[in-house]
Amino acid sequence: MTEEKNMEPLWWGLFSAGGVVAAFLVPIHIIIFGFALPLGWISDSGTLYRNWLVKIYLFVLIALPLYHWAHRFYFALNDMKLGLPRQPLAVLCYGGAIVGTIATVWVLLLL
């Protein structure tokens, strides 16, 4: 007997992975790319991102926390009782994360 597979574990698993990545990697990246570079404390030629190992790292850094956001934000919006319809909201959030993932792969391949 096959029952329709509950997809919740998938989203929760991605949410968790994204949460770990965000917890350990995001703060220092904000320091570097949010402050150090824009304010001119350090310079960056951009050549580092051509390296394929670095690209894999960047993929993990950017894509996974998007699923963390999607899952958390979807539930938070529902919890806030704003009366927003669930299905479209789910499509916007999880769909947004998927679109972001594709965009990330595309940019990294272009680099």
Partner 1 sequence: MAEPTVTLKVTRYRPGKDSAPTLQSYTVPYRQDWVVLDALNHIKDQIDGTLSYRWSCRMGVCGSCGMMVNGVPKLTCAAFLRDYYPQEIRVEPLSHFPVIRDLVIDMSDFLDKLKSVKPWIIRKSEKPVSEGEYLQSPAQLEAYKQFTQCINCMLCYAACPVYGLEPEFLGPAAIALGYRYNMDSRDEGKDQRGPVLASHNGIWQCTFVGECSEVCPKDVDPAAAIQRSKVDHTKNWFKSVLLPWGGR
Partner 2 sequence: MSVVRPDKSKLFYHELPPSWWLSKRSYFLFMLRELSSVFIAIFLVVFLIQLYQLTRGPEAYAAFTQKLSSPGWIVLNLITFLFALYHSITWFYSSAIVLPLRIGEREMPRNLFVALNVGALAVVSLVILVLFLALKG
For partner 1, which is the closer residue by CB, 2 or 43? 2
DSSP states along 35-104: IITTTTSS---SGGGGSHHHHHHHHHHHHHHHHHHHHHHHHHHHHTT----HHHHHHHHHHHHHHHHHHH
Binding partner selected for residue 47 from partner 2, partner 1, none, CB under the kind-specific 5 to 8 Å limit: partner 2
- Angstrom distances, CA of residue 95 to CA of 53, 100, 111: 27, 8, 24
92 binds partner 2 (CB under 8 A): no
What number of other Cβ atoms are within 10 A of residue 84's Cβ?
A: 12
- Residue 39: both structure tokens together: 């304010």
Residue indicated by tokens 């965009």: 103
Counting residues that bind partner 2 (by CB under 8 A) gives: 50
Candidate ranges 37-45, 50-58, 70-78, 84-92; the one touching partner 1 (CB under 8 A): 70-78
State which of residues 1, 2, 8, 24 lies at the interface with partner 2 (CB under 8 A): 24
- Residue 93: both structure tokens together: 């959030």
Candidate ranges 23-31, 68-76, 87-95, 102-110; the one touching partner 1 (CB under 8 A): 68-76
> Which residues make up the interface to partner 1 (CB under 8 A)?
6, 8-10, 12-13, 16, 72, 75-76, 78-79, 81
Site residues (CB under 8 A) for partner 2?
Answer: 19-20, 22-35, 37-40, 42-49, 58, 61-62, 65-66, 68-69, 72-73, 75-76, 79-82, 100, 103-104, 107-108, 110-111
